Amino acid sequence: REVKQHRQVIVVTHNPNIVVNGNAEFVLSLEVDRGQTRIGCHDGLQDQSVRDEICRVMEGGREALERRYQWILLPER
């Protein structure tokens, strides 16, 4: 989080925990259909379609996302 205050950070990952715990400001989900790659959803964690996609691939599903999302909303420690 501290690095984000002073630098642009671009991360490419298959791990939704990094997306959530890193408090991503922009998420781009890609899908492959018949050999063609297309954008599935894109926006921030506040967007429902992005959260739904994260829940689809995150171990623990919606409950895990909600726990982590609440953690990032807490004031800085």
| Average pLDDT, integer, range 19-24 | 81
Quote the DSSP letter at residue 44.
-
| pTM to 2 decimal places | 0.68
**Total number of residues shown for the chain:** 77
First to last CA, the chain: 11
70 neighbors 25 (Cβ within 8 angstroms): no
Highest mean pLDDT among 38-42, 43-47, 64-68: 38-42
